[in-house]
Structure 1
């Protein structure tokens, strides 16, 4: 009935879709298994992509040849570049999306790939022979053979939904939990844990009074995620809105705390620290009289509204009374209540940097099964797992991104070496080289790597090379272009920056904090005409590289210093336990995580500098 697939992907959320697309685009024959074909790429939480650090991840996925950026562009209803008032390392793109169109575009994209097959059924177990994954078993007992398996089960593994004192099995509202896989993996020697996440109520937008809220517009000149020209920037956008809770809302919610599963002990799993429920906010930040609520439309045409900031698992009657005390929500009609969901995860220290498991060969984990939270984090892991599953089947070298290569590299490295006891979320502060890992240069950093493994298209590579060469030419020309006092001093005075007394290069002038490319165009007509020949992204790239060149050079020097340790390989079967000079904790951690390089070993919690020195000596021998 079934051929032997190169890769079977279990789960069709953000991680599963990227894994299936990547492996299939690289030439592998892929089977994507899902319990419901109608919920492929479902935006289970808020209808948005990107944000601080997350936007950088979406750009990186796109630069490598993934589809999250393209799909986001095709389905967005609003675009905003966050943190524009800060330096370029902090700029983060974010889209508000049409939930239904996002899922539809993903499904259509996958269906157009001849290497992707689909199977709708719960997967209840793995086929394992001699320590190697060789396929999956479905709930009705069908065995499907494969050379590798990628698990992207999201919140479905033994998922339990909580609404007040009610609790029932489910991986998402209205959908069944997945059973069998956790139990089998534990029998195979895996360590498992429980985590939780939550979602807010959805309401009828027709019942809200927007005059009592602050309107949040999209950018005046909206951009896109993807470096490709497959979509055009938005000509119209839908606004979001901001309102606030108040003392009355908090007091109303507190009446249900005795029935809250979070406070009465029914929920055991840890929730995301940086996206707490509304009852958690009230409890942890009792001194605050109000909390921000983002009112987000679910699409172009639907009236359904996502109440961002009001995630809760309180009883539905408590939710309903409290939400109607929020300004603008006095007559709100609820479509469905918020809920919390508990699910199984597997500590990611059990994985290699390729996201292949240590215990079972050719078995990969990606997404919330690894203890992360967020569409973007899941999608990037799916991409890495799909790429590496395909490469291993093709007997090619693995694909590993370093911390200095991408936020995706930081994410994977953090998970493998540090693990996580709460849902992991990416922030710019987690990256030590964030000036190098900007959202504007993801293509310059990663597209060649994506093209080398057969994922990024020729079109992507050509666009990247054009951008790179045009940026270099522009920077060189700005260094050569000399500007005279009598031609530019009037313009400099209008900008509010000091006049010059002798000729100065355009490049040196651009280093002034008051002057960007836009201002440079106003001080010299000839220069303005020349600059207008270049695209917006080339102008932006040149400006950033010129203004921050000394800082970029310093970070690059730090990367080169650390690269020596990253290049120092540790043999695959190195016996850490036999080195008695190592500390007990160091031996245990090294043996459990099994780092592949000295650099990776240095980042493992519990491995001391002394342990590292001893390990270096033994490796030298």
Structure 2
């Protein structure tokens, strides 16, 4: 173990693991400090990765050279592509994970990275000299020196856990909270707040009656996250669906007077889009049932995660209410659900690199920034790790634009708009989501990851091969001609209008009724077109079907990029611009946008304020 490091990462959750791995892979000597070496990459909540918009983030992490996609592929027990009935911009990969295997695969990957050292301890203080980070101090009184520090403290900063009227310190079940760091950061000038999240009970799968539930199978031909040659699933475990009912709701209401949410003991806001079961009943009083997803925790365990039943009600109320859910009549509970309240730091205090504005080379990533979700945390960790390394090496900042990835949308939203409740990514947050699909993350981002030394040669070669195959298949489809007699019978079977004259395959594929599943059948009519992978076919057909729309989005993105290229000096004196609105001036002074584009997205900065900035800059 060294006494001095290039980068220190505090916390070994999803953000910390990605940050440490990225910085170390790029060449930094990294120290990863965690309070418990046995809970590295712990899935604190549901045993799953991906989902709507989140799956796109995992694929972007993978495309850049991160590890979340690889670890997910090696530990998944089920895979589903969500939203297949909608357009390809909405398709989102999701996997059910083996909780223990996921953590084990992550730890194995980190230990195989020879540039990473580990230390089990609690960081209580960051060391600062003349406005720059110099290291950290731990609860054992040990000082580690570093040129950059990434804080990924999750829910542990002054964490408090709630079960009914019981309150105890902790950031996760059976794990103590971290104290001291928030207070020091506030003394240095940072603003902090409180947020809340929660988790449902874990139960014994042997005590459930699956005959009373709906089985939820994985995809018949399961996909994966990584663009590398990771293993594909050859067997899967089912999930199950059941529902609450009025009897369940009535039982839960008996505990409302002891609910920490309703009595005001919890001050922080919880995630709007993942409410507790008591919050659902309270907010949606007209609903007589709510969906419950019954998710196995792994291949070789009977433990089950009761997704949709997050709660902080007394444990006896949780138990009695669950027994009224179909299939749960004889349930045995392993542990109750609970809520956890913790400190966070409003992310408007950060630069686009996730470096803090107050202290040079100090980075925040993950739930400390007010986000919720493994995927949101992981991508922040990746970007913080990359930029911590590049700062140490005195290299240019690395930023993903809104038009280039969901990662760019997430970070820009956080630093520009801030958040007062746990931020969760959705496809609706991305104005160019048709460009930012899960199938093309490698074509968008791998070249960038390769250029900075994170994505491997193998990954870059796989991307360039795919790009060439897509281009070649597109040319072949343009050249292929169809005669009415050869294809009309097939078209009628697809309820598509017959051809009256010779037509190109390219034109035919634009028909909305020619669905993606039918394309491979159609290609079989052209033996002269070389066989390529399903992924290449799908990528090609998406680009053909949505060509006009994609071109419009690219033009709009290029217009946005013009403003993104107009940088603003971080020390710019906005007081000299007398024509700025009072609110606009105050917001610009507080948030310190790095570009005109970012300034234009700040709430309270009007179009006329942007025009004044452009005039001043001679544009």
| Interval containing the TM-score (normalised by the shorter chain) | over 0.9
For the residue of structure 2 that corresponds to 1:6, the secondary structure is: strand
The aligned runs of 1:344-383 (5 Å cut-off) are: 344-383=343-382
Query: 1:523: how far off?
Result: 5.0
Structure 2 equivalent of residue 128 of structure 1? 128
SS in 2 for 1:168: strand
Q: Distance in 1 between matches of 2:202 and 2:119?
A: 31
**Where does residue 76 of structure 1 map in the other structure?**
76
Aligned partners of 1:127 and 1:523: how far apart in 2?
64
Tell me what 2:17 maps to: 17
Matched, 1:514 2:474: no
Query: 2:429 maps to what in 1?
Result: 430
SS at match of 1:148: strand
What secondary structure, in the 3-state scheme, does the structure 2 residue paired with 1:556 have? Answer: helix
Q: Is the 8 A contact 2:476 2:529 kept in 1?
A: no
> C-alpha distance in 1, partners of 2:271/2:523?
52
- Whole-angstrom distance in 2 between the partners of 1:74 and 1:54: 18
**1:390 equivalenced with 2:410 (yes/no):** no
Q: What is the match of residue 86 of structure 2? A: 86
Aligned match for 1:604, one of 599, 602, 618:
602
SS in 2 for 1:147: strand
Match of residue 281 from structure 2: 282
Structure-2-length-normalised TM-score: 0.99
CA distance in 2, matches of 1:259, 1:436: 48
User: Secondary structure of 1:218's partner?
Assistant: coil
Match of 2:560 in 1: 562
**3-state DSSP of counterpart to 1:31:** strand
Hey, what's the Cα distance between the residues in 2 that align with 1:508 and 1:42? 49
Kindly tell me the number of residue pairs found equivalent between the two proteins. 619
Per the alignment, residue 586 of structure 1 pairs with 584
Deviation at 1:517, TM superposition (A): 5.8
Change (3 A) 1:118 1:479: same
Flag as ranges the 4+ runs of structure 1 deviating above 6 A.
none
Cα deviation, 1:23-58, whole Å, max 9, x if unaligned, reads 001000000000000000000000000000000000
CA deviations 1:139-186 (Å, max 9, x no partner) are 010000000000000000000000000001001010010011100000
Asked if the contact 2:523/2:529 (under 8 Å) is kept, the reply is no
**Following TM superposition, by how much is the alpha carbon of 1:578 offset from its aligned partner in structure 2, in angstroms?**
2.9
8 Å Cα contact 1:482/1:505 also seen in 2: yes
Matched, 1:539 2:512: no
State the Cα distance separating 1:533 from its structure 2 match: 1.2
Structure 1's unaligned 5+ residue stretches are none
Equivalent position SS for 2:611: helix
Aligned residue for 1:210?
A: 210
Tell me what 1:318 maps to.
317
In 1, the alpha carbon distance for the partners of 2:544 and 2:45 equals 40
Partner of 1:47 in structure 2?
47
Spell out the pairing of 1:396-545 with structure 2 (5 A cutoff): 396-516=395-515, 518-522=517-521, 525-527=524-526, 529-531=527-529, 533-545=531-543
Deviations 1:505-554 (A, max 9, x none): 11111111122465345457551x34561111111111000000000000
User: What is the aligned partner in structure 1 of residue 291 from structure 2?
Assistant: 292
C-alpha change, 1:526 and 1:98, in structure 2 (3 Å) is: same
Kept in 2, the 8 Å contact 1:7–1:29? The answer is yes
Work out the CA distance in 2 between the residues paired with 1:428 and 1:135.
38
Aligned to 2:183: 183
The TM-score, its normalising length taken from structure 1, stands at 0.98
| Structure 1: distance between partners of 2:285 and 2:127 | 51
C-alpha displacement of 1:567: 0.9
Mean Cα deviation higher: 574-583 or 417-426: 574-583
RMSD: 1.1
Q: In 1, Cα distance between the equivalents of 2:434 and 2:2?
A: 48
Residue deviations 1:179-227 (CA, integer Å, cap 9, x gap)? 1110000000000000000000000000000000000000000000000
1:108 aligns with 2:114: no
For residues 544 and 525 of structure 1, do their structure 2 counterparts lie closer, same or farther at Cα, with a shift above 3 Å needed?
closer
Unaligned runs of 5+ in 2: none
2-structure distance, mates of 1:478, 1:68: 35
1:620: how far off? 2.3
Deviation at 1:493, TM superposition (A): 2.2
Q: Which residue of 1 aligns with 2:244?
A: 245
Shift of 1:588: 1.4
- CA spacing shift, 1:64–1:211, aligned 2, 3 Å: same
Rounded Cα–Cα distance in structure 2 between residues aligned with 1:432 and 1:92: 17
| Separation of aligned partners in 2, 1:258 and 1:63 | 49
8 A Cα contact 2:59 2:69, kept in partner? yes
Q: How many Å apart are 1:342 and its aligned residue?
A: 0.3
Shift of 1:265: 0.8
**SS of 1:317 mapped into structure 2:** helix
Paired with 1:537 and 1:225, the residues of 2 have a C-alpha distance of: 12
Whether the 8 Å contact between 2:200 and 2:305 is mirrored in structure 1 is yes
Alpha-carbon distance change, 166 to 523 in structure 1, aligned in 2, over 3 angstroms: closer
CA contact (8 A) 1:491 1:522 kept: no
The Cα of 1:271 is off from its aligned counterpart by 0.2
**Which residue is equivalent to 1:170?**
170
1:477–1:5 CA distance, 2 compared to 1 (3 A): same
Please tell me whether the aligned partners of residues 133 and 148 of structure 1 are also in contact (alpha carbons under 8 angstroms): yes
Change beyond 3 A, Cα 1:261–1:543:
same
- How far has the Cα of 1:576 moved from its partner? 1.4
Query: How does 1:253-292 map onto structure 2 within 5 Å?
Result: 253-292=252-291
SS of residue paired to 2:185: helix
1:558-587 deviation per Cα after TM superposition (whole angstroms, max 9, x unaligned): 011121111111123211133222122111
Offset, 1:615: 1.5
Does residue 1:595 correspond to 2:582, yes or no? no
